[in-house]
Chain A
Amino acid sequence: MNIAVILAGGTGSRMGIVDKPKQFIDIYGKPIIVYTLETFDNHPEIDSIAVVCLKEWVDDLKILLRKYEINKVRWIVDGGQTRQESIYNAINALSNECKDDDILIIHDSVRPLVSHKIISNNISKAKEFGAVDTVVPSADTIVRSIDESTIEEVPTRSELYIGQTPQSFKYSLIKEAHENAIKNNNLNSTDDCQLVLGIGQKVHLVMGEKLNFKITSFDDLLLLKAIIKLGKTEMV
């Protein structure tokens, strides 16, 4: 079974918008999270979807699922205090129905431009290797600074990638990685791949796309609006 875990537990504190989390912001009449869910809902290889949602927005999510006829969502899981806790909540919620070799495709709800190809590649590589991360090569030189004032290091650009989502894992592997992190009191990881590396497992790369960017700021929102050209698929 291939289960998408859509993370919608964030509050959008960097957006300036205070009345709703960023994943519920409308883009041309449709909330960002719906665009994301539709792509997974209509992907033939996705069997079910779990949404990790802010507790107080669960009813709103249910209304959207009904309105937009998103049919594969089987679990709505309460979000945690951190990203790590949110994902662990989903892992636990799925424990009765997941087998060890089932694949979890963990994706940010605020990356609505994830493509069919990226999802397919995540699934096939996760089945083969157990753990995969979606990345794009870094086009810019990245510098490292510790004091926020001077450069500490300029890492070799060809070795650097920008991490995206989905990150996909065999169920048993991601469960073990999270439990190991909790055991070691590592409770605020922003990335599941770090946790998998922590149990000595390799994480393979799947090529993402620049368009699969994350909506975190008002600039990103503007960019998304500019990219989506609605009304172009006119039908008789």
Chain B
Amino acid sequence: MLGKSYKIVEPRRFDLYIDDIICNEGEAVVRIEYASICKADLRYYLGARDKRTLGFKYPMNLLHEAVGTIVLDKTQTFNIRDKVVLVPNIVPKGLKNCLSCICNIKELGENYCPHSKFASSNYNGFSREYVNYPIKNLVPIPENIDLQVATFSELISVAISICRRFNLKGNETIGIWGDGVLGYILCVVIRYMYSNAKVVVVGKHESKLKQFPAHTYYISGDKRMIKENISVAYECVGGKASSFAINEIVDCILAGGSIILTGVAEEKVEINTRKILEKGLSLYGATRSKISDFKKAVILLQNDNFRRDISKLLLNEIQIRNIVDFYDAFESELSNKALGRYILKFNV
């Protein structure tokens, strides 16, 4: 079956491709319904990676946060018209002589396998009409969950994987640095999964922080946050600003505390290692979710209150009828300063 597909071929330039979609063994064909644009997609759009890296990436379909409808499933796992979330991590089957041995570590998992592929990073993403996709990477969405909200499943799964990275006791004071979408979703997830924990959020924009379902918030630089006795801190800032955020965490966190880094920075960031040593802090990295995290995300979305909190991130719906609309969607997300995401409705 022929289907339209938008691939980035150079910075700020998409081309329309017509692909022949072939449903291979163990796969279903999914029609993409909704998607959202993440910061990584914007970096590829702008060409904000080094030239050689981009040379290996382009041409490529962007977008890895997407939901769709089953149109063909020869395995008969799904019914036609079933709604599904697409899990962007693809792990090759039957790896032999893999030295990583990471798949069975529960805090990490197969998504950290060096051989795995990730849609819109080292593998084609979902900016297309149809995609043939492994059945095991499709998670069903119950009827009562609106597809627009379900588009956030990927980010919710990442938040769950971040929680999985470090075993919380559940009664700590937790700090979340970053007033963006991931920080917000992590805050919501922690409130639902660890209701006895106290959650403190720190960011630059009070208007955004006020919307977080946290116990309290601080503007970055406020010295009073030291008195909160934060023992676990999550950095959800990323980019150049992550240096300041990590150092602020290091200053504030209790001795022996744990810091989980989740923000992606293209350039190396400077951090105060002396103080990390002085305080005996532990640093973890987490940013990749696995299939079980997606399943948990969909279960969480079945809770009305949880879904309502996540729905607050929905900005306007942008209809993608052609490639011009697709350009407009990227430009809109680039200039987006609000707390939330534009949702792309594919109707190409």
Bound together: yes
Total of A-B residue pairs, C-beta within 8 Å: 67
- Report the bound CA distance from A35 to B19 in whole Å: 11
B129-150 to A contact mask, C-beta < 8 Å, 1/0 = 1111010000000000000000
Q: B314-348: which have CB < 8 Å to A?
A: 321, 347-348
- Of A112, A211, A234, the contact of B124 (CB 8 Å cutoff): A234
- Report the bound CA distance from A87 to B43 in whole Å: 52
Give the chain B neighbours of A228 by CB distance below 8 A. 2, 18, 20
**Distance in Å: Cβ of B327 to nearest Cβ of chain A:** 18
Q: Does B27 contact A (CB under 8 A)?
A: yes
Q: B29-74: which have CB < 8 Å to A?
A: 29, 31, 69, 71-72, 74
Q: Does A202 contact B (CB under 8 A)?
A: no
State whether A232 touches B5 (Cβ < 8 A): yes
- Report the bound CA distance from A115 to B21 in whole Å: 13
Which of A39-47, A123-131, A154-162 lies at the interface? A39-47
Chain A residue with the shortest CB-CB distance to B347: A117
Given contacts A44-B80, A228-B2, are A236 and B20 in contact (CB under 8 A)? no
Chain A residue with the shortest CB-CB distance to B79: A44
If over half of A's interface residues share one DSSP class (helix, strand or loop), that class is named, otherwise mixed; here it is loop
What are 10 A-B interface contacts by the 8 Å CB criterion? A35-B2, A35-B20, A44-B71, A44-B81, A115-B4, A228-B2, A233-B5, A233-B124, A236-B90, A236-B93
Give the chain A neighbours of B99 by CB distance below 8 A. none
- Report the bound CA distance from A234 to B125 in whole Å: 11
Give the chain A neighbours of B18 by CB distance below 8 A. 113, 211, 227-229
- Report the bound CA distance from A222 to B129 in whole Å: 24
- Report the bound CA distance from A135 to B243 in whole Å: 56
Q: Does B1 contact A (CB under 8 A)?
A: yes
- Report the bound CA distance from A43 to B132 in whole Å: 15
State whether B2 touches A39 (Cβ < 8 A): yes
Among A43, A69, A229, A235, max chain B CB count under 10 A is at: A235
Q: Does B22 contact A (CB under 8 A)?
A: yes
**Distance in Å: Cβ of A110 to nearest Cβ of chain B:** 13
**Distance in Å: Cβ of A1 to nearest Cβ of chain B:** 16
**Distance in Å: Cβ of B323 to nearest Cβ of chain A:** 12
- Of B2, B5, B7, B132, the contact of A112 (CB 8 Å cutoff): B2
